[in-house]
C-alpha cells in the first residue's frame, strides 16, 4: 500500500532545501510534473512494474489509492512530503489547488504496456 514519507529538509535564513534521496531503490529514470490541473482528475491507473513517488511542491492536491484490498485518500500539501506508490496501487490525483505543481518520479521510463487502467473490482462489505 502507498506510504507517506517525510523528506529530509534543511532550513536556514536563506530558505529551505528538500532532498529526494534513496526514495526509489532502483533510482530515478523519469521525472515529470503536473500543473494547471484545477478541476481535473489525473492518473486513473496502476502499473505492472513502475514504482512512483509523488510530491506536491507547490499548492496541494489529493490522491485516492486502491491496492485491491483497501483504499486511502492522501492530501499532499507540503513540499517536504512524498507519497510512495507501489506498482499495484491504482491511483487518481484530484482537487488540485490553483497553484498546485505535482512532481512525479518513476524508477522506469515510460512504457505504454506498464499501465493498467482498469479499476479493481468493487468489494462487497459484510
Q: Which residues are catalytic?
A: 45
DSSP string computed for the chain: --EEEEPEEEEETTEEEEE--SSSTT---EEEEEES-TT--EEEEEESS--EEEEEEES-EEEEEE-SS-EEEEEE-STTEEEEE-TT-EEEEE---TT-EEEEEESS---GGGEE-SPPPPPPP-
Amino acid at each position: 500500500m502507498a506510504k507517506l514519507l517525510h523528506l529530509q529538509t534543511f532550513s536556514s535564513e536563506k530558505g529551505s532545501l528538500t532532498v529526494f534521496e534513496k526514495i526509489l531503490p532502483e533510482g530515478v529514470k523519469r521525472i515529470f510534473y503536473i500543473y494547471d490541473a484545477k478541476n481535473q482528475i489525473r492518473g486513473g491507473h496502476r502499473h505492472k512494474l513502475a514504482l512512483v513517488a509523488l510530491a506536491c511542491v507547490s499548492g496541494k492536491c489529493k490522491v485516492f489509492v486502491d491496492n485491491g484490498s483497501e483504499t486511502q485518500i492522501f492530501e499532499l500539501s507540503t513540499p517536504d512530503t512524498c507519497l510512495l506508490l507501489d506498482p499495484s496501487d491504482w491511483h487518481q490525483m484530484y482537487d488540485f489547488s490553483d497553484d498546485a505543481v505535482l512532481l512525479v518520479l518513476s524508477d522506469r521510463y515510460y512504457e505504454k504496456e506498464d499501465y493498467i487502467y482498469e479499476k479493481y473490482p468493487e468489494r462487497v462489505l459484510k
